[in-house]
Structure 1
Amino acid sequence: MPLKVLIAGAGLGGLGAAIAMARAGHDVEVFEQSKFMNEVGAAIHIAPNASRILKSWGIDFKDLQAVFCNAIKVYDNTGKLIFVPVKTDELQKKIGSEDEWLLTHRVDLHNTLRKAAANKTYVDRIKVHVASKVVSADAETAEITLGNGTKHKGDLLIGADGVHSKVVIAVAGCLPQSVSTKQNTFRFLVPIDKVLANPITGPFFGNLGFDCQHVFTTRDRRMVIYPCRKGTLLNIVAVHPAENDGLGSESSWLAGGNVDDLLEVYKDFSPILSELCRIAEDLKLWSLATRDPPSKFYKGKTVLIGDAAHPMLPHQGQGGGQSFEDAAALGVLFPADTTLEDIPRRLELYNQLRYTRAVTVMFMSKVNDERRGTMMEDLRRFVPDAELPPDMFPYLWNNYVIQDAQKALAWEQRSTLAQL
């Protein structure tokens, strides 16, 4: 008998979990608070640890309209190249992987997952309810209550309802403590044709090219610039100390930004980058607020994934990737023959497989890469034996969560048989 799986949230992680659990043979109902009428966001990385998962789910990369990322190049604030920390082909050879590093628009990725979830293969397996906000949950019984008062009960509840999760309260007993990073981010998109047509930005960016990430940095602020949507849009992420702009915006994709404020915060950057800021379209200001992770990712018949479990800030570009690793692990650990009696042990296996890695990536994502070591004291409050990854790129990319979950499941099944 397939399990009845409820999922709170139809973001990237929630849809990924729906696909993974349906592929495993279970019946899935997803409850999403929005109506999918006003999807927002900017560009997103899909590093090889995530792209290999999407391929395993049968995702068509053509739908992503992605740009293949060939490198990261770091410059000073004047535009002088400092170093190239990673070249994709070299790192692929080093770790023995041919999986792609993709740059795509978050909306394109979300639409691709929605399309996959609606595929005729899953027509009787996945049901998505929109305008269905989960306001509370019972972790022990896998029951949720919606904003209209209706209740739904499953065999397994997956909390994929983001940083402001209601399901995490059911798992942790309270909402984990909010944490200010004292960082703000301006985000905006500019059509690449507009960049190239501009007499100031055109020659510079035309020479740099649009096949990698360009990072312009000073001691305490940086601009990360990369293409998406088949190379037609340029995505700009500008991270800086929050106390320097005095704006204190809430952590929301919908908070509008002001170009004059953007120019003031980045006044010491190249005039070319200032001009790029002047031609910004749909400028947003996002406060990099987060919260602590719970002490574990499960309780009773309920499990957390994505930002509900480990809110991810953008410094490592792993928010989507870690949610896909979570979803992929669940899809393996809950095969079609899973019984109700198996659920507690399988959730414990999930926690063993995911907690240390996901929480480590979470803390490594709070600050610029060169400052990762400053996060170790905080990380060890949750993972006492945590070690600082010497190089984040191999650590992130060289992860095969599906194979790891298969090994963990095989070990658990052998142990169970040995006890009979």
Structure 2
Amino acid sequence: MSLNIIIVGAGLGGLATAISVKQEKPDHQVQVIESAPALAEVGAGLQVTPNATRLLKRWGLLHSLEKLASSPKEFTIHRYSDGALIGKRDNFGEEMLAKYKSPFWDMHRADLQIGMYERAKELGVEFKFGALVTSTELETPSVTLSNGDRIDGDLIIAADDEIKDRELRHYFETPRVVLWAGPDCHAICYPLKGGSLINIVLLVPDTLPEGVARAAGDLDEMLEIFRDWDPRLRSLLSMVPKVDKWKLMHLNELQYWSNPEATIAFLGDACHPMLPYLAQGAGSSLEDGAALGVLLSTANRRQDLPEILKLYEQLRKPRSSALQERSKVQRHINHLPNGPEQRARDTLLKQQFDEPLPGYPFYWLDPTQQSFVYSYDVYEEVSLAPNARCILR
């Protein structure tokens, strides 16, 4: 028997769930409802770390996406003010591949999203674009669209410039991740699309009005905030044609990821918003979708869903909580004000950059923290969980 699954949102988490469900159990009917008229380039670049690329490989996407991604050859950290080099890691991408048997990529979010969308279509997932959900009926369960159409199912899943400067061009001819850490702010940039595009993310104190999550930024304000930073960063920022402001929401994860009737489930930012300091927003959403898809593949009737959704939450919640907490800690470390604590951080970063020890103040390189994030295999966790073995019979 099969289930009819409605996924609200064609973001990375929604697409991951759709792919995972259909790949594990083709008989399930999966429909993705997206309010946007088409997939659009939103969010620019992102890091796809080994725990996430491991999933892309399982879904048959690694080869097709590889040509659209960049594996960083270098990872450098600079002092914010004068650009002094704190540490440089050569062959970073190769190191990650050798250690975790899965690549570390920098890529455009749209390239990843479109690749996953195409794979989902190959597997038979149905898509409805330009469809705004205006109400949800959990007893049925069903969703009603803005045009009045009603869609019934067994389960609803809420997933909802060229560089001309010669020095800078040379600096980014080699794929690399560059981070500047300063008081209350940090900047990170890396090349996308074969070096034709540079993604720059600036983390600064929030100045958006209450209730505003996204707005056009002011170039002069951006330049003023980073006025005393590394000249190379300021040169990059001087070429930016426009800037967007996105509010980073400091929200706790949901207490429950599904309702008692097991007619709706949440994943990704819908239940555990992730700050970007460990680059795990996308990865954790893919992990959620993979886990949910595997578990749903065991369902043959609606009555199976309560046990499945309870197990999904039990498996995923501890890790998402840990990632949220570690990301908050990394934010604090990155944004230390000038002073003794900042100087101690920089000294330790420099002393151990080549061979970090546990407790290293940059979690991306701390051997314990890095392994916790990158070595994780969600399919393995699901298969080994005692309760899961009862379901995956």
> Please, what TM-score do these two structures have when normalized by structure 2?
0.82
Summarize the alignment of residues 3-402 of structure 1 with structure 2, pairs less than 5 Å apart. Answer: 3-25=3-25, 26-36=28-38, 38-63=40-65, 65-77=68-80, 78-84=82-88, 87-91=92-96, 93=98, 96-119=99-122, 122-123=123-124, 126-161=125-160, 190-191=161-162, 194=163, 197-198=164-165, 202-204=166-168, 206-207=170-171, 209-242=173-206, 250-252=212-214, 255-299=215-259, 300-335=262-297, 338-366=300-328, 368-369=330-331, 371=333, 391-402=368-379
Alpha carbons 1:210, 1:226 under 8 Å: kept: no
Query: Per the alignment, do residues 141 and 114 of structure 1 end up closer, same or farther by CA in structure 2, a change over 3 Å counting?
Result: same
Alpha carbons 2:49, 2:103 under 8 Å: kept: yes
* Shift of residue 338, structure 1, vs aligned partner: 3.3
Alpha carbons 1:248, 1:287 under 8 Å: kept: no
Moved more, 83-92 or 231-240: 83-92
Q: Distance in 1 between matches of 2:263 and 2:308?
A: 10
> Please, what TM-score do these two structures have when normalized by structure 1?
0.77
Specify every segment of 5 or more residues in structure 2 that has no aligned partner in the other structure, as ranges.
337-362
* Shift of residue 227, structure 1, vs aligned partner: 0.9
Query: Per the alignment, do residues 228 and 248 of structure 1 end up closer, same or farther by CA in structure 2, a change over 3 Å counting?
Result: farther
**What residue is the counterpart of 1:173 in the other structure?**
none
Query: Per the alignment, do residues 101 and 140 of structure 1 end up closer, same or farther by CA in structure 2, a change over 3 Å counting?
Result: farther
Alpha carbons 1:91, 1:394 under 8 Å: kept: no
Q: Distance in 2 between matches of 1:416 and 1:111?
A: 31
Query: Per the alignment, do residues 208 and 48 of structure 1 end up closer, same or farther by CA in structure 2, a change over 3 Å counting?
Result: same
SS at structure 2 position matched to 1:298 = coil
* Shift of residue 249, structure 1, vs aligned partner: 9.0
Moved over 6 A (4+): 246-249
Moved more, 210-219 or 137-146: 137-146
Letter in 2 for 1:74: I
Alpha carbons 2:78, 2:181 under 8 Å: kept: yes
SS at structure 1 position matched to 2:100 = coil
* Shift of residue 216, structure 1, vs aligned partner: 1.1
Letter in 1 for 2:133: V
Query: Per the alignment, do residues 45 and 23 of structure 1 end up closer, same or farther by CA in structure 2, a change over 3 Å counting?
Result: same
**What residue is the counterpart of 2:381 in the other structure?**
404
Query: Per the alignment, do residues 143 and 371 of structure 1 end up closer, same or farther by CA in structure 2, a change over 3 Å counting?
Result: farther
The alignment of Structure 1 onto Structure 2 pairs a total of residues equal to 357
Q: Distance in 2 between matches of 1:70 and 1:369?
A: 24
Letter in 1 for 2:17: A
Letter in 2 for 1:145: T
Q: Distance in 1 between matches of 2:15 and 2:279?
A: 19
Q: Aligned-pair RMSD on alpha carbons? A: 2.8
SS at structure 1 position matched to 2:316 = helix
Query: Per the alignment, do residues 365 and 36 of structure 1 end up closer, same or farther by CA in structure 2, a change over 3 Å counting?
Result: farther
Alpha carbons 1:33, 1:134 under 8 Å: kept: yes
* Shift of residue 45, structure 1, vs aligned partner: 0.8
Specify every segment of 5 or more residues in structure 1 that has no aligned partner in the other structure, as ranges.
162-189, 375-388
Q: Distance in 2 between matches of 1:204 and 1:412?
A: 51
SS at structure 2 position matched to 1:406 = helix
Q: Distance in 2 between matches of 1:249 and 1:348?
A: 33
Query: Per the alignment, do residues 272 and 370 of structure 1 end up closer, same or farther by CA in structure 2, a change over 3 Å counting?
Result: same
* Shift of residue 370, structure 1, vs aligned partner: 5.2
Identity %: 30
**What residue is the counterpart of 1:187 in the other structure?**
none
Moved more, 298-307 or 343-352: 298-307
**What residue is the counterpart of 2:339 in the other structure?**
none
* Shift of residue 331, structure 1, vs aligned partner: 1.7
* Shift of residue 58, structure 1, vs aligned partner: 0.9
SS at structure 2 position matched to 1:368 = helix
Deviations 1:182-240 (A, max 9, x none): xxxxxxxx43xx2xx31xxx325524653221001212211101011122211111111
